[in-house]
């Protein structure tokens, strides 16, 4: 049975007959991305996009009939496709991949929310996945193991960036930057540590240097890649 509602990528962008469409999916996606970047994903609607384009909302539904169609082209637009040839140094290649992914999520704070559900698969997303798998080609892992490594990196970067974005949002809402907030919490924390009930936390306060965001990311990435390297070493020995 033919699916009566094929995904957006299965539908022709230009009709076989009749006049050429006024807009392209890429143009609509670009406007939607600008709105989402400045106002959040909740600010994106066909009515809002149509206003920016100077047309009617119903006109745009001819191009992208459903909200999921709009989200699909938005994700594919911002993911894009940047070539990355394997260098032979898997750790360095995966680090480059993780840093690039982080920058994409930071540029588009709404993106992680859309990627959290079922995969949105468009031509750029497929090309990016093919590129990323090629970085692990020949490492000794099967295709499932390669996907496990890539998914681990993606999920970790998602979490790390979400923590960054949440901190920025908290700072804007409270008017306190991270260091000011830490100073404000200091007296309470010292009082609790003085009870002696939190020896490990006490060591943390006394010995730890609270790193900035970029350093925290690089430290976490190094630990993650240590684990990947150890896994690959065990595969090579077996």
Tens digits of residue pLDDT in 19-72: 677 889 999 999 999 999 999 999 999 999 999 999 999 989 988 999 999 999
Domain boundary among 61, 78, 95: 78
Query: Does the structure show a pLDDT above 60 at 112?
Result: yes
C-alpha distances out from residue 176 to 173, 185, 197, Å = 8, 12, 29
Q: What is the pTM of this model?
A: 0.84
Q: How would residue 4 be classed by pLDDT, with cut points 50, 70 and 90?
A: low
CATH of the domain at 116: 1.10.357.10
Please check whether residue 139 is in contact with residue 232, taking contact to mean a CB–CB distance below 8 angstroms. Answer: yes
The 10s digit of each residue's pLDDT in 152-197 is 999 999 999 998 988 878 877 777 777 777 778 778 888 888 888 8
> DSSP secondary-structure letter at 141?
-
> DSSP secondary-structure letter at 21?
P
Domain boundary among 37, 56, 78: 78
Instruction: Look at the block and give the residue holding tokens 């991949």.
Output: 97
d(CA 85, CA 191): 54
Instruction: Look at the block and give the residue holding tokens 């992914």.
Output: 101
Contacts of 167 (CB under 8 A, 6+ apart): 178, 213
Domain-located, residue 2: no
In terms of residues, how long is the chain? Answer: 238
Domain that holds residue 45: 8-78
Query: Does the structure show a pLDDT above 80 at 238?
Result: no
**How many domains does the structure of the chain reveal?**
2
Q: What's residue 14's pLDDT?
A: 74
Query: Does the structure show a pLDDT above 70 at 1?
Result: no
d(CA 23, CA 60): 8
Domain boundary among 78, 99, 122: 78
């Amino acid at each position: 049975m033919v699916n009566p509602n094929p995904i957006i990528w299965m539908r022709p962008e230009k009709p076989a007959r009749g006049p050429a469409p006024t807009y392209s999916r890429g143009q609509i996606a670009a406007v939607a991305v600008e709105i989402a970047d400045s106002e959040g994903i909740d600010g994106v609607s066909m009515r809002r996009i149509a206003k920016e384009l100077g047309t009617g909302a119903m006109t745009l539904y001819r191009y992208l009939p459903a909200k999921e169609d709009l989200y699909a082209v938005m994700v594919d637009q911002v993911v894009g496709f940047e070539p990355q040839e394997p260098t032979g140094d898997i750790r360095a290649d995966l680090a480059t991949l993780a840093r690039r992914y982080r920058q994409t999520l930071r540029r588009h704070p709404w993106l992680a929310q859309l990627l959290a559900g079922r995969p949105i698969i468009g031509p750029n997303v497929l090309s990016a996945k093919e590129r990323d798998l090629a970085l692990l080609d020949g490492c000794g892992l099967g295709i499932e193991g390669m996907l496990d490594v890539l998914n681990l990196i993606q999920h970790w970067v998602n979490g790390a960036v979400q923590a960054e974005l949440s901190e920025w949002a908290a700072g804007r809402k409270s008017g306190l930057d991270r260091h000011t907030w830490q100073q404000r919490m200091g007296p309470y924390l010292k009082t609790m540590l003085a009870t002696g009930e939190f020896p490990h936390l006490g060591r943390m306060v006394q010995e730890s240097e609270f790193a900035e965001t970029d350093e925290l990311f690089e430290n976490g990435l190094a630990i993650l890649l240590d684990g990947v390297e150890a896994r690959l070493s065990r595969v090579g020995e077996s």
